[in-house]
Amino acid sequence: MTALLEAEAISYRSGGRILVDNVDLSFASGSFNIVIGPNGAGKSTLLRILCGELHPTTGSIRWNGEPLHSIPAWRLAHRRAMMPQASDLNFPFTVFEVASLGVEGTGRGLTREDRQRLALDALEEADVAHLALRNYQSLSGGERQRVHFARVLAQLKAGQSLERQQVLFLDEPIASLDLKHQLSLLQISRRLAQDGLTVVAVLHDLQLACGTADELIVMQAGRLVARGKPDAALTPQRMAEVFGVEFVAPGPASSPWRLVLEGSRRPAPASPTAGSGLADR
């Protein structure tokens, strides 16, 4: 498949440290890509470079062959949306007003009513429409995260009036969510990818990452150490090398896969939640 977004030999330095080190990546339209790795691996920095928020110290990024740095900000806002790990708002906006930020200044030929409808539809899809008139600052962390998911959904929908090929960047989007909304957010993103949207997400939950991604991107110390389908990119050996844990193979059918700290040869005792696969992290 032809690459929509390409990164060639990108590196990023800050404070004398190399946060991203000589990474080559390409993303095809309609692909669902998940970046994994331990803390400090450079995952969030990589996303910020790919979406144009940070300029790489070296290397280049191209969008359909066009240098990313040459794309005007207004056009880039139609091509991609970014949901960061946390978004602080110090103004007493309502939930509807926060979602509407995604459609302000985005889109062509849209009336005020069109923009309001896009924001309301996005709130409905993110399961926060019932909070539309609530003060954003009064919400829980998980509710706020769902509101920002609605904001980026609305932005992408408005942007489609000008740009059909788009990318959604998600940086730890499920960190504050309960299980129902974790699965919902990933299912919505997965469906959008099946409809042609390119998704690049950072996740720490390896079970959900493996069950959702078309491809995993494994980062360690700023370097790309593996990329591919989950069963090929996240082998037991790579788990030990990158995350410092190892797989313990199941015995009887009732015995689940477990993860144990590297260096410990005794499997951890099964927990009440062990049936969830990678629950013993």
In a domain, 81, yes or no: no
Same-domain check for residues 173 and 223: yes
> How much is the pLDDT for 246?
78
In a domain, 71, yes or no: no
Extract the tokens encoding 225.
Answer: 């150490």
Dihedrals phi, psi of 240, to nearest 5 degrees? -70, -40
Which residues in 100-237 belong to E strands, given as ranges? Answer: 167-171, 198-202, 215-220, 223-228
Same-domain check for residues 118 and 108: yes
Domain boundary among 116, 145, 163: 163
In a domain, 80, yes or no: no
In a domain, 70, yes or no: no
> How much is the pLDDT for 1?
54
| Alpha-helix runs per DSSP H in 69-178 | 73-79, 95-100, 112-125, 141-159
Same-domain check for residues 54 and 178: yes
CATH of the domain at 15: 3.40.50.300
Measuring CA to CA, how many Å separate 244 from each of 186, 254, 274? 27, 26, 20
Structurally, the chain folds into a number of domains equal to 3
Domain boundary among 119, 143, 163: 163
In a domain, 83, yes or no: no
Same-domain check for residues 213 and 261: no
Whole-number Å distance between alpha carbons of 98 and 191: 24
Whole-number Å distance between alpha carbons of 53 and 45: 9
Residues 6+ apart with CB under 8 A from 249: 257
- Chain position carrying tokens 């939950």: 205
Among residues 40, 53, 46, the alpha carbon closest in space to that of 10 is found at 46
Integer distance in angstroms from the first to the last C-alpha of the chain? 36
| Alpha-helix runs per DSSP H in 21-69 | 43-50
> How much is the pLDDT for 260?
55
Same-domain check for residues 149 and 260: no
Same-domain check for residues 251 and 122: no
Among residues 142, 100, 143, 90, the alpha carbon closest in space to that of 121 is found at 100
In a domain, 261, yes or no: yes
Q: What is the pLDDT along the chain (281 residues), one digit of tens a residue?
A: 578 999 999 999 999 999 999 999 999 999 999 999 999 999 999 999 999 999 999 999 999 999 999 999 999 999 999 999 877 787 889 999 999 999 998 999 999 999 999 999 999 999 999 999 999 999 999 999 999 999 999 999 999 999 999 999 999 999 999 999 999 999 999 999 999 999 999 999 998 999 999 999 999 999 999 999 999 999 889 999 999 987 665 554 444 445 555 444 444 444 434 333 343 33
In a domain, 74, yes or no: no
Give the global pTM.
Answer: 0.87
What domain range is 26 assigned to? 1-64+165-236
Domain boundary among 115, 141, 163: 163
In a domain, 77, yes or no: no
CB 169 within 8 A of CB 51: yes
Kind of pairing between the strands at 17-28 and 32-36 = unpaired
